[in-house]
Structure 1
Amino acid sequence: MDSKQLWDACLGELELTLTKANFTTWFKHTFILEYKEDALVIAVPNAFTKTWMENKYQQKILKSLQSITDAKIKQLSFKVAPLSKKEIVVVPVAKPETKPVAPEKTISKPALNPQSQQKPIQASAQSSYTTSYNSPQSRSIVGQGSALNPRYTFDTFVVGKKTELAYAACRAVSENPAKIYNPLFIYGGVGLGKTHLMQAVGNAIAQRTHEKRILYTPCETFTNEYIKSVTMGQADTFKNKYRSVDVLLIDDIQFLAGKEGTQEAFFHTFNFLHQNDKQIVISSDRPPKAIPTLEDRLISRFEWGMIVDVGVPDLETRIAILTTKCHEKNTSLEDDIIQYIATTVQNNIRELEGALNRVVAAMQLTNTKPTVDSVRGLLSSIVQAPKRG
Structure 2
Amino acid sequence: MTTSEGEAQRELWTRVRARLKASVGEDVFASWFARLELEELVGDVVHLSAPTRFLCSWVQSNYAERILEAFRQDDETVARIHITLRVNGGQVRSLRPATPAEAAPVETKDGADPSIEIPAAPRLVRENAAPRGDALSGSAIDPRMTFDSFVAGEANEMALGVARQIAKAAANNTVTFNPVYIHSTVGLGKSHLLNAIAHATAEADPTKNIVYLTADHFMYHFIAAVQRQSALGFKDWLRKVDLLLIDDMQFLQGKSATEFGHTLGTLLTGAKQVVVAADAPPRDLEMLDERIRSRLSGGLVVPISGFDLELRRSIVQRRADQVAARYGMHFPAAVIDYIARAVVSHGRDLDGAVNRLVAANQLTGELITVPLAEKTLADLIRSRDAKRVRIEDILKMVSRHYKVPRNELLSARRSRDVVRPRQIAMFLAKALTSRSLPEIGRRFGGRDHTTVLHSVRKVEQMMKDDHDLCQEIELLKRMLEE
Shorter-chain TM band: 0.5 to 0.7
3-state SS of the aligned residue for 1:211? coil
Q: Could you say which residue in structure 2 is the equivalent of 1:348?
A: 346
Matched, 1:319 2:313: yes
CA distance in 1, matches of 2:131, 2:295: 33
Note closer, same or farther for the CA distance 1:357–1:172 as it changes in structure 2 (3 Å cut): same
Instruction: Tell me which amino acid in the other structure corresponds to 1:206.
Output: A
Contact 2:125 2:137 in 1 (8 A): no
3-state SS of the aligned residue for 2:286? coil
Contact 1:347 1:388 in 2 (8 A): no
Contact 1:186 1:284 in 2 (8 A): yes
CA distance in 1, matches of 2:277, 2:263: 16
Bigger-Rg structure (1/2): 2
Contact 1:254 1:286 in 2 (8 A): yes
Contact 2:343 2:349 in 1 (8 A): yes
Deviation, 1:301, is: 1.3
Contact 1:217 1:251 in 2 (8 A): yes
3-state SS of the aligned residue for 1:217? strand
- Deviations 1:176-217 (Å, cap 9, x if unpaired)? 025101111000001111100111111110111111111111
Matched, 1:383 2:381: yes
Q: Could you say which residue in structure 1 is the equivalent of 2:218?
A: 222
Q: Could you say which residue in structure 2 is the equivalent of 1:251?
A: 247
Note closer, same or farther for the CA distance 1:354–1:145 as it changes in structure 2 (3 Å cut): farther
Q: Could you say which residue in structure 2 is the equivalent of 1:165?
A: 158
Q: Could you say which residue in structure 1 is the equivalent of 2:238?
A: 242
1:301 to 289, 295, 307: 295
Deviation, 1:168, is: 0.5
Matched, 1:263 2:257: yes
Matched, 1:199 2:195: yes
| CA RMSD, 1 decimal | 2.3
Q: Could you say which residue in structure 2 is the equivalent of 1:175?
A: 168
> Where do 1:143-162 residues align within 5 Å?
143=136, 146-162=139-155
3-state SS of the aligned residue for 1:176? helix
3-state SS of the aligned residue for 1:249? strand
Matched, 1:275 2:279: no
3-state SS of the aligned residue for 1:281? strand
Contact 2:127 2:143 in 1 (8 A): no
Structure with the bigger RCO (C-alpha within 8 Å, sep 6+) is 1
1:185 to 162, 174, 181: 181
3-state SS of the aligned residue for 1:299? helix
Q: Could you say which residue in structure 2 is the equivalent of 1:6?
A: none
CA distance in 1, matches of 2:293, 2:156: 23
Q: Which moved more, 1:363-372 or 1:298-307?
A: 363-372
TM-score, normalised to structure 2, is 0.50
Contact 1:212 1:246 in 2 (8 A): yes
CA distance in 2, matches of 1:388, 1:231: 43
3-state SS of the aligned residue for 2:208? coil
Deviation, 1:308, is: 0.4
Note closer, same or farther for the CA distance 1:351–1:134 as it changes in structure 2 (3 Å cut): closer
Q: Which moved more, 1:201-210 or 1:364-373?
A: 364-373
CA distance in 2, matches of 1:247, 1:134: 22
Deviation, 1:136, is: 7.3
Matched, 1:339 2:341: no
Note closer, same or farther for the CA distance 1:196–1:376 as it changes in structure 2 (3 Å cut): same
CA distance in 2, matches of 1:136, 1:341: 39
Deviation, 1:132, is: 2.9
**Sequence identity (%):** 35
- Deviations 1:312-341 (Å, cap 9, x if unpaired)? 110111000111111223243111111111
| Structure 1 segments unaligned to the other structure (5+ residues) | 1-129
CA distance in 2, matches of 1:135, 1:333: 34
Deviation, 1:388, is: 6.6
Number of equivalent positions: 257
- Deviations 1:206-249 (Å, cap 9, x if unpaired)? 11111111111111111122222223312033213422211111
Deviation, 1:141, is: 7.3
Note closer, same or farther for the CA distance 1:169–1:373 as it changes in structure 2 (3 Å cut): same
Note closer, same or farther for the CA distance 1:388–1:144 as it changes in structure 2 (3 Å cut): farther
Of Structure 1 and Structure 2, the greater helix share is in: 2
CA distance in 2, matches of 1:172, 1:142: 28
Contact 2:258 2:288 in 1 (8 A): no
TM-score, normalised to structure 1, is 0.62
Deviation, 1:365, is: 3.4
2:355 to 347, 354, 357: 357
1:232 to 223, 228, 232: 228
CA distance in 2, matches of 1:231, 1:141: 17
